[in-house]
Every structure is written in C-alpha cells, then in structure tokens.
A and B are shown apart, each in its own frame.
Chain A
Amino acid sequence: MGMTITEKIFANKLGRDVKPGEFVEVDVDIALANDITAPLGIKEFRRVYNGKVFDNNKIVLVPDHFTPNKDIKSAEQVKYVREFALEKNIKYFFDGGEVGVEHALLPEKGIVLPGDVVIGADSHTCTYGALGAFSTGVGSTDFAACMIYGKAWFKVPETIKFYYFGELKPWVDGKDLILYTIGKIGVDGALYKAMEFTGPIIKKLPMHARFTMCNMAIEAGGKSGIIEPDEITIEYVKERAQREYKIFKSDNNAEYFNEIKIDVSEVDPQVAFPHLPENSKSVYEAKGIKIDQVFIGSCTNGRYEDLEIAAKVLKGERVAKNVRMIILPATPEIYKMALKNGLIEIFLEAGAIVGPPSCGPCLGGHLGILAEGERAISTSNRNFVGRMGHPKSEVYLSNPAVAAASGVAGEIVHPEEII
C-alpha cells in the first residue's frame, strides 16, 4: 500500500514506513511560538531545564499578537520573550519593525519549507501545509519540550482527500473554497485528520490562496492541511529558501480515510455567519446585513494578493459613513510592496485605516475592538462569541473582496455591486 504525502514526511524522518494511528516521535525542523504562547513555554523551559536550546537556528519567536504592545502586561510578556531570545541567541527572533503576522512571515522569509515537520504554539501553524510541509499547532508545553530535545510526538493522522474541480466563479478565492468546505463538513468534520487539498482547481491556485486554505484546516478540527508541492510552490520557495528542502507527493495507491469531491462551479463568494466558521453561506444570502467595522488582514488574508484584491474594489470608492475599515498588511515586506505599488494610497483615499502588521483585532487583542452590539465583516478565521471584542458583538467572515465591497456599501454585498 502506498503512502500519502503526510505519511511520507513522517516516514522520511523515521527512515521507515508509517501507518496512520501510530504514535511517533520525530525531529522537528522548526518550532514556533508567539507573544501569548512563548512566555508560558519559556517559563516551563526555565523551570525544568534551562540549559541550551536544542538548536538556536530552529526556534522561531514572533511577538505578533499584542504588538506594538497594547498595555503594560503585554509589554512585560514580550520583554520576557526578548530576554530569552537574546540569552539563547535565537536566530529567528523578530522584534519591532521586523515583526509580521507569523504565518505570513515564516513562508515569506523561507524559514519553513517543503517536506518539513513544523510545530507552532499557535493553532494556525497548519498554514505551512501549503508548502507541502507537515505543520501543526501545539501548546506551550510541547514548544518547551521541543526546545529541550528537538522532537515532538504525534499520532500519525489519517488523511481526508478534498478534490476540487469545475470552474471558479468571479471573485471566488481560496477563502471561499475553505469556508464552503468547512460549511460542508462542520467545525469538527476533520477532527484529528490531515486535510489534503487536491484536484485541477488546486493545481491552478496561486500560493496566497493555498496558504488561506491550509490556514483554516484547524477550523474544521483538522490536525493539518496540506497541498502537494508543484511548479507554483517551487517558484515561490526557490528564491526564499534558507536551506535544502524535500518534495514529497502522495502515491496513487495511498489510502485515505475518506474522499470528498467539491464542484466549485456552484460556489459563490462565502460569508460565515456568527458564531462558527461552519455557518458559511453564499454572499447573496448575507446581502443587506449592516456592518460597523471591516477588518482586512490576519494570517488568513493579509498577504499582498489579498490587499491587491481589496484595492481593486476600493479604487476610487469611499468607505461608507460610520463604518471603520481597518487594513493591516501582514508583514513589513507586504506593507512596503503595497506602498510602492500605490495600494496604501488607494486605501487612505477610500478612508480606510492602515495599521502595522499585527494579529490585532482578529482575536480581539487591540487595533480595532468591537463594542456591545457591533458587527464586523472580517477576512480573519474565527467568528466565535466575543472573538473580536464584546461578547455581544458579531463577526462575519469573508474574502477580502467581499469585505472591501461591504465596507463601501455599509452592508454585506457581493463585490460585483461595487465594481
């Protein structure tokens, strides 16, 4: 019997074949934490061990959640991380103007690569599956353990194959495909499973959309999302890679837990209603829902192409009165490119607020919190109760084009109504 790409990545690390359900301990290529999860991990590391880290070139610390620091407590947290990073000579510690949203930053810098095993003390670590890596979210204690011995334990997951075919409608992007998929299988539809995205639509999908899809595997309960590397992946990786990498592909006779076929011809731009990502519907069904705030950014949709799409909608338009539109480019590089190519000017002319790279409002951290009864449309990944602020506020999830168009209209609309 053949193996899936996920099984092959584990097999490569162990030097033998693996089967789903096995418990394995494997070497980790990159271990990541942020300003919320790293302090707990570092505290535990110092409590039980406090020697040298297993490899100071394989640990990544990105204080991106509450930075630029929103209050004294969060500044203390980052200070604690900074002191550790300097003491242990951590190569990939990003500070101040180097900070970007971690899951946009690491691929952009070529730190995570095809064939890697990556753990991150952040649930959206599954994003890097878009590069053909096995990548998954863990907790702070797993991160601490990995800093000590360079390994992590896993139950080799079964894989669900998602096969996308048909023809994409205008304004449909990776976000819509993944929201539609989560709507189909539910927020625990892929619990403990690897989600492998395949088919003719995926083969043509640009990297930014692949990142968006793998990013939200966790919202279906998935352990990881993954896409086989191809020319598009290699084109993205080749200029950025900081080291050697390995390409794995699923065997034709690999065994899958399940296969789900999705005809994209029937997929409109999606909007996920409160308070679960699985509540996704066609944007036409959301038409007319009034909004107070728009957020364009996050590890899901804060990449350059996302901003480009938003700019296409916003060019020459004006954000509706009494609506706040907040745009956070996900990394400094993206910000610079958006500035150079005139996107930032379009945003400012439209009356949007352009802020620093940060997770910011996505998790109700800062830079745009919702008041009681307020409603936002957001390009981020979660619309849980209280996610972006007051427990009685509401979040609708969408792609950047729908979010931008809705900001102009003051209510949720299909982008075709604006352009």
Chain B
Amino acid sequence: MIYKGKAWKFGDDIDTDAIIPARYLNTSDPAELAKHCMEDADPEFVKKMSKGDIIVAGENFGSGSSREHAPISIKACGISCVIAKSFARIFFRNCFNIGLPILEAPEAVDEIEEGDELEINFQTGEIKNLTKNKIFKAQPIPDFMQELVKKGGLLNYVVERVAG
C-alpha cells in the first residue's frame, strides 16, 4: 500500500486522552469519534486536516489508556498512516488489530516538518519526503505482525484458526 499526504506534527507522549478525550467515550461509533480526533492536543485538527494526511509524532505516541477508540478515531477521520519515534505498546497492538498503518522511524520524524508532502510504502517501510526530496527507512515490522496484516487483522486470523 502506498500512502500519500501532508504531514501533521505532534510532540512526545501524546496520550490517548489527547487523541480522544473520555468525554466522548460514551459511544463507539467511528464517525462520531472521528469528529473529536486529537481534540485535546489540537482542537482545530479535524478542521485543518485532509483525507490521506499523515500524523508524524515524537516518542511514546498513544500512551495511557487501552481505548481502541483512539486509533479508530484517527482512522475514521481519514488519516492514512502514523509515523512516530516510538509507540506506547497497547496503542501499537491496537493499530495492527484494527488496521491503522503505523511506522516507527525516529530519523524521519526529526527531518519532517509540518506541511511536508510524504509518500509512504507500508510494505517496504520506505518514507519519501517529497517536499525535501529525502528518503528514510522505518523499523521493520516483526514477522508475526506482518502475518496479522496479511490476514487482514487479528480477528480474521483467529476466525480462520477456529474454523481450521
């Protein structure tokens, strides 16, 4: 899969309360959650971003709560991919489980500025900064997790296992 879009930059330790505040957790409707994506980190984010855009963040993105509503709100608002220096572990797991593409790429994050046009090849982990004409390589995704992605997510994998 190739993802192409504009970069939106965030700092370190963006927690899931900032991504989707608990005051909106009385629903699990993706469309509803999408309206409030990143609201407590940047209240204008949903208005500014366009479909296909890419979130670029620092260390420990998605820390805190296990709420899957966080990656769901990011995916549902149209963000195509998240690049970070590192991810909090439950968030990392949730992204693979629900099919939100994420990549760890510390060098790329340092070199990307807000508004840069990016092109990402999820399979090869190649991140092209089209604005700055630079190419970066993301950390490889462990085989087991690639397998989950190939199967189309954890539940497909499990249902296949149970049926088999």
Contact = CB atoms under 8 A, between A and B. Distances in A.
A137 interface: yes
Contacts of B43: 391
B66 A37 contact: yes
B60 A39 contact: no
Size category of the A interface is 35 or more
Given A36-B67, A44-B155, A149-B161, A221 B98 contact: no
A141 B93 CA distance: 10
A141 B21 CA distance: 20
Interface string B16-39: 011001110111100000000000
Interface stretch (B83-91, B112-120, B121-129, B133-141): B83-91
A123 interface: yes
Nearest to A192: B89
B159 A363 contact: no
A192 B88 CA distance: 8
Contacts of A65: 25
A71 B94 contact: no
Contacts of B13: 187-188, 276
Given A188-B59, A363-B17, A145 B66 contact: no
A221 B66 CA distance: 12
A148 interface: yes
A382 B15 CA distance: 10
Interface string B127-164: 00000000000000011100000000111111101100
A384 B64 contact: yes
Interface in B25-65: 25-28, 40-41, 43, 59-60, 63-65
Contacts of A276: 13
Contact of A145 (B15, B86, B154): B154
Most buried by A among B72, B94, B157: B94
Most buried by A among B23, B89, B94: B89
Contacts of A144: 155
Given A123-B90, A384-B17, A137 B66 contact: yes
A191 interface: yes
A170 to B, nearest CB: 32
Nearest to B71: A139
Contact of A141 (B25, B41, B153): B153
Contacts of A23: 142-144
Contacts of B90: 123, 137-139, 218
A364 interface: yes
Given A71-B26, A121-B66, A153 B88 contact: no
A144 to B, nearest CB: 6
B69 interface: yes
Contact of B40 (A140, A192, A382, A385): A385
A191 B88 contact: yes
Most buried by A among B13, B28, B41, B142: B28
A386 interface: yes
A43 B68 CA distance: 13
Interface string A113-125: 0000000111101
Nearest to B87: A191
Interface residues of B, number: 44
Interface in A285-305: none
B15 to A, nearest CB: 5
Nearest to B158: A145
B97 A141 contact: yes
B66 A123 contact: yes
A40 interface: yes
Contacts of A340: none
Given A121-B66, A382-B64, A141 B154 contact: yes
30 contacts: A36-B67, A37-B68, A39-B28, A43-B28, A44-B155, A49-B155, A66-B25, A122-B65, A122-B66, A123-B65, A125-B66, A139-B67, A139-B68, A139-B90, A139-B98, A141-B94, A141-B97, A141-B154, A145-B154, A149-B161, A188-B63, A188-B86, A218-B90, A221-B60, A363-B17, A364-B21, A364-B23, A386-B17, A386-B21, A391-B43
Ranked nearest first, the 7 interchain pairs of A and B with the lowest CB-CB distance are: A73-B26, A141-B97, A139-B94, A188-B60, A23-B144, A139-B68, A123-B66
Interface of A: 23, 36-37, 39-40, 43-44, 48-49, 65-66, 70-71, 73-74, 77, 120-123, 125, 137-142, 144-145, 148-149, 153, 155, 187-188, 191-192, 218, 221, 223, 276, 363-365, 382, 384-387, 391
Given A77-B27, A142-B93, 20 more contacts: A23-B142, A37-B67, A40-B68, A71-B26, A74-B26, A77-B26, A123-B65, A138-B90, A139-B93, A141-B68, A142-B154, A148-B162, A149-B158, A149-B162, A191-B86, A192-B89, A221-B88, A364-B22, A384-B18, A387-B22
